[in-house]
Amino acid sequence: MLNTKHSESADSDSKRASAGSGGSHVSDGAAAGHRSYSTSTDRPHSGTGRSGGHRPARSHDGMRSGRGGGYRSHEATRGTAHRAAAHHVSIDPGHAHKKAPQNENATRLVPLGGLEEIGRNMSFVEHKDEIVIIDMGIQFPEEETPGIDFIIPNVDYLAPKKANIRGLVLTHAHFDHVGAIPYLIGRIGNPTVYTTKLTKALIEKRQEEFVNAPKLNIVVVDNGDKVKLGKHIELEFFGVDHTVPDTIGVVVKTPEANIVHFADFRLDYDEEGNAAKLDDFERIGKLGIHTFMIDSTNAEKEGHSVSERLVEENLEKLFVEADGRIILTTFSTMLTRIAEIIKICEKIGRKVFVSGRSMKDAIQISHTLGYMKFKKDSVLPIEEIGKYDDDKILVLTTGAQGQSNAGLMKIVTGEHKYVQIKPGDTMIFSSSVIPGNERSVQHLKDHLTRQGAIVFNSEMIDIHSSGHAPKADLQTVVKLIKPKFLMPVHGYYFMRSANGKNAVEIGLPKENVRLMDNGQVAELTKETFTIISETVPATYVMVDGLGVGDVGEVVIRDRRILAQEGMVVVITTIDRKTGRVLKNPDIISRGFIYLKESQELLNEVRKKVRLIIGKIPPGQLDGDYLKNLMRDQIGQYLYNKTFRRPMILPVIIEI
């Protein structure tokens, strides 16, 4: 029995708002030998706006710096709209939201991310004064967040309650589940992390890059382990199959509900078509599961998971048939696949050259811990690639999603120091495309083909097995778990709705499917799952360079305007005493018009500026008033002439 003492400074609990009751569900019909741990605790319980003729921008809330007080999102309306849609699918008026006193004895289940996007996975379970968090991931930027590196969950609710947080469970090492740790772990009191050996090593390696981040306190767990976090919450872990080894699911046990979170998972089949780990899932089902949080990424796809054995066979066939170099791209943490690739290369006599620091680190850590086994000279530094013939080379690189700073993009653009595309190269995409990245990946394939590469992807041949279970496998697991309630997670609303309908098809009552959205609060009792009217902050927190949460609504809005409409700077020099214009106004345009071909329009703008200033009585010149007046009237004038709405930046120089 392992006892771990935690001591944190006390933080006063935030008072929760009074809550109502309600629900949202699918619209259409359709252990012997386990280790145990016990954890005792002594913790107490600016940009420039537009007006005039300008098109109104989407309404957003501002965001403060994430390093200090709290985060506020640039896109507060997003969750509201999704919640409205969720409530529309409710088919039972008795589940409508209504005010009601909060049930202090209920278990609270709250998703902070991952339910309206792919990525940013994070949720927590709260019972009285104990909280356990599951995952802490990042989301890649969207078209509506230009220039952003990535998006992380909002922990404004958790930060004041950090003394109550008993642990953070990390299900596996993919960035959409662990990537936000360096940015958020300090804000929530640096709680103990419970995860597997490989995930521990990978997140510790990344944590080293953040010199100001706290040192992580990690407890390694394995399949079958049990951890008692306090008086009310106990965890039980079990293994699931995914594209990274050491992926775990967790059962969170409270006095009111056993909640099972399967992480990202698939069923892996042997050559005879038998699925692995079904006995473990059946054992979990016998625990009496109240709520099943189930992966929804591939819920609308029919059939079963593609066996990794079939993927391995098809990759070997492609490798053998390739005459020249092979360049293969996948995720840096898709370690099961990478191990297969190295094994095939050893078999057929090719050397593996790795491009991309994150992939190098992941392979080295996996090899050191024994998750990959290969000969010392099988994986070589990319610097040595020139010593080998083309038919003895396989380049393994990051960048399968078209990321601009990844290894593959540098190879395609000719910026890579050691590898450039040449005719006859075999280019293999051994990964799926994350929804939202389709255009970037398509452009990448176009550039590769133009340069003479022979491109293969999983749509042409089975060279990728998704780490997310499709419909038939999801239904198999639901039958084994036998949950009272199903809460689809990890996906857009359409995916989660499809997942709920899949469960209804095999007999789960449709009123027992709960489609929540980020920030909603569910109260669980032994027989109920009620989505109450209370919400917690779950809006975007954006990471841009070294800034965390300091890029807010105004900055994002201005970036979108500049990208879509361009800008016009009007510089005017004025005599402070007389209010007269001393020289012809200077006009600078970026992304709006080509100045040399638009002299007539520029002259008209200059006349308009003189006219605006001329109407102001001498001695009554106010710089801020004049800027607003110029912004409105010049903006309206340019719209009337061009039907475009550039950002107008007036600059007044008083002499």
Q: Check if the beta carbon of residue 48 is closer than 8 Å to that of residue 647.
A: yes
**Nearest-5° Cα angle at 8, 7 to 14:** 140
DSSP secondary structure code for residue 392 in this structure: G
Pairwise CA distance, residues 424 & 454, whole Å:
6
Question: Is 95 one of the annotated active-site residues of the chain?
Answer: no
- 165: helix, coil or strand? strand
Quote the CA–CA distance of 4 and 45 in Å, as a whole number.
17
Integer Cα distance of 74 and 541 in angstroms: 8
Of 468, 473, 490, 517, the catalytic one is 468
Instruction: Give the C-alpha separation, 156 to 122, whole Å.
Output: 13
Instruction: Tell me phi and psi for residue 59, to 5 degrees.
Output: -75, 130
Could you tell me the strand order of the sheet in which 165-169 lies? 218-220, 193-195, 165-169, 130-134, 122-127, 107-113, 520-524, 529-535
- Of 59, 216, 66, 80, nearest to 156 (Cα)? 66
How crowded is residue 240: how many other Cβ atoms within 10 Å of its Cβ?
25
**165-169 and 130-134: which strand pairing?**
parallel
Provide the 3-class DSSP secondary structure of residue 312. Answer: helix
Catalytic hit among 246, 264, 268, 295: 295
Q: How many CB atoms lie within 10 A of CB 235?
A: 23
CA separation, residue 377 to residues 126, 195, 352, 380, 434 (Å): 50, 32, 9, 6, 33
465/340 Cα distance (integer angstroms): 12
The answer to whether the CB of 299 falls within 8 A of the CB of 400 is no
The number of angstroms, rounded, from the C-alpha of 333 to the middle of its chain's C-alpha atoms is 15
**Rounded to an integer, what distance in angstroms lies between the CA atom of residue 203 and that of residue 208?**
9
Measure the CA–CA gap between 638 and 599, rounded to whole angstroms.
14
Assigned token pair, 446: 């176009």
Active-site annotation holds for 28: no
Q: Which residues are catalytic?
A: 295, 468
